Structure 1
């Protein structure tokens, strides 16, 4: 049984962690739906091939009062050229 103090209240900590996990899950799903390509383990039947021209980028999601705001940042390729991974 947990303490009622905030520092050792494990039920409260688990509830807060669950909220964060749900928020992160929403961001992952939102990002996946906006990536209109297949890449690595991310496969979409409606977009079965890679689209490096548009999606060789880092996906950034910002939480706003209106909901998630998705942005992309170009990948800086320094050592290894990207290549398709086949699973």
Structure 2
């Protein structure tokens, strides 16, 4: 038998929330924790991933803004080439 069990609490109709509860009081050798807590490295990798995604989105938006802003210059250059 494990040190934790789960019980279901009805918060709202058709919504189930599972809460971990200790069967026995926590000890040094058997603390009552979630079954698989996220490590610090996993949280750090999440932050790195979201940061990298945000940087890529900002670069793409900046490139699109530069492209849209330079459309009149491109048209003027193409007119000069046709002369």
TM-score by length of 2: 0.36
The structure that is helix-richer by fraction is 2
Tell me the TM-score normalized by structure 1: 0.34
Whichever of the two has the greater Rg, that structure is 2
